[in-house]
Amino acid sequence: MNKAAPRILLDGLTFTGADHPPVGVSFKDGLNVLFGASNTGKTFIVKSIDFMLGGKGPLPDISERIGYEQAWMGLNLPTAGDVTLMRALAGGAYELYPGHTTAPNPAAKANRKLSARNDATNTENVSQFLLSELHLTGKEIAFDVNGKKRALSFRDLVRFCLVDEVAIQSESSPIESGQVISTTAERSAFKLLLTGQDDNAVVTVLDRKSFKTSTTAKQEVLDDLLNNIDSELTADFPDADGLAEQNKNLESSWERAQQEANLAQQSIREKLTKKSRLARLIFEREQRRAEIQINFGRFEQLADVYRSDIKRLEAIEEAGFVLSLASDKPCPLCGASPEDQHNSHGIADIKKAKDAANVEIEKIGKQQGDLDLTIEQMGTEGLQIEKSLEELEGELATLEAELGDL
């Protein structure tokens, strides 16, 4: 079973004004009949509903509306549910309130303000708001026989919802207003209501008059351009017969110039590649030179440590030697002879310390020798790098000069 199409139900229409009691009419779901004698307001109600659905107005200036300033129209919408549209009788924008109301609530503001002017790129207008409730936003209708299109407006649908006595008495089709300029748009809107398909797929063609005007204008422009070119050629080249030979010579000259330019470009590319290589080598050499300078400082500090350690160990060895000389002498404390001494007073330990100091001195001396050799090698490498940098920088300067000439 197909889902029922969305619909808009009219709940009521009320007029309010300062110091005037609200007046209006209410409607029920289904058939509603307004009846009465002539000039009792039936046509005014129809025009007021049209006015609240985006009509420009103005409303008929009847005596009964004097003192009334706003119109409130209650609607039941497929998505928003019960809402009320309020609009000043003088025209202008709308205010949208939730629920059915006939007066603004001082404690609450209107949910939205809706413009009376339709704008398909903006949803904040009454036309697009109502179209969105009917799931018809973004639809397009053709408005002329050439397929020119525009966005659908809710005003395109209102004339099928509100039918006055003039339309009823008309001998033309009820879906047409009688205005020739509006016939295509009215038929397109009616087709959309019947089928649900808009005219988005219609291909627009250029009308005959516009095509002829455009073609004539283009032809005149081309004629003017050709005349100007002929005038310039006549002024600059009186001997037009020789232009072909001149063109041939120019093409030969251009070909030679192009070959020279290609050779120059090739040479430039090669030199740029070489320049990049030289710049990289210079950067690497400068980095290594900086590392050598840093290591020189560190190695000098290490050499100072080695010298200090050797002096300290030599002092220990010398002290051990001096102390060991007294090992076969009478004790300086008690006077006992060497053969009567039972306490060695640490002579063995002193000899061990002396021997260990000698071993350590020998070890540090070897390390110091290796360090001296490393420093010498680094010095040699540093001199080679300095010489290499001078050569590379000279080569780079020469290359840059050649590039400048090219």
In tens, the pLDDT along 250-282 reads 999 999 999 888 888 888 888 888 889 888 988
Burial category of 169 from C-beta neighbours within 10 Å (exposed 0-12, middle 13-18, buried 19 and up): exposed
Report CA-CA distances (Å) from 137 to 71, 79, 129, 141, 196: 26, 14, 9, 12, 12
Mean pLDDT value of segment 316-344: 65
- For residue range 110-161, list pLDDT tens digits in order: 578 999 999 988 889 999 999 999 999 999 999 888 888 999 999 999 988 8
Residues for the chain: how many in total?
A: 406
- Would you place residue 345 in the very low, low, confident or very high pLDDT band (cuts 50, 70, 90)? low
Whether the CB-CB separation of 290 and 298 falls below 8 Å is answered with no
Q: What is the predicted pLDDT for the residue at 326?
A: 57
Please tell me which of 52-61, 81-90, 206-215 the model is most confident about, judged by mean pLDDT: 81-90
Report CA-CA distances (Å) from 270 to 275, 277, 317, 378, 399: 9, 11, 69, 35, 11
| Long-range contacts of 128-132, Cβ-Cβ distance < 8 Å, separation of 24 or more | 128/154, 129/96, 130/8, 130/53, 130/77, 130/154, 132/79
Which of 91, 185, 90, 105 lies closest to 146, judged by CA? 185
Q: What is the predicted pLDDT for the residue at 212?
A: 75
Which of 5, 24, 7 lies closest to 15, judged by CA? 24
Q: Which residue has the higher pLDDT, 368 or 341?
A: 368
Q: What is the predicted pLDDT for the residue at 315?
A: 80
Mean pLDDT value of segment 321-328: 64
Least trusted range by pLDDT, from 346-350, 379-383, 391-395 = 346-350
Q: What is the predicted pLDDT for the residue at 21?
A: 93
Does the pLDDT of residue 343 top 60, yes or no? no
Q: What is the predicted pLDDT for the residue at 85?
A: 95
- For residue range 1-45, list pLDDT tens digits in order: 356 788 999 999 999 998 899 999 999 988 999 888 888 888 899
Average pLDDT, the chain: 84
Q: What is the predicted pLDDT for the residue at 91?
A: 92
Q: Which residue has the higher pLDDT, 163 or 94?
A: 94
Whole-number percent of the chain with pLDDT over 70: 89
Q: What is the predicted pLDDT for the residue at 76?
A: 96
| Long-range contacts of 266-274, Cβ-Cβ distance < 8 Å, separation of 24 or more | 267/406, 268/403, 268/406, 271/399, 271/402, 271/403, 271/406, 272/403, 274/399
Q: Would you state the structure tokens that stand for residue 243, as one six-digit string?
A: 């232009």
Does the pLDDT of residue 97 top 80, yes or no? yes
CA dihedral of residues 176, 178, 184, 190 (deg, nearest 10): -10
Its pTM stands at: 0.51
Q: What is the predicted pLDDT for the residue at 45?
A: 93
Q: What is the predicted pLDDT for the residue at 132?
A: 94
- What is the Cα–Cα distance from 399 to 403, expressed in whole angstroms? 6
| Strand, helix or coil for residue 147 | coil
Q: Who's near 388: CB < 8 A, 6+ residues apart?
A: 285
Whether the CB-CB separation of 310 and 365 falls below 8 Å is answered with yes
Does the pLDDT of residue 385 top 60, yes or no? yes
Q: What is the predicted pLDDT for the residue at 26?
A: 94
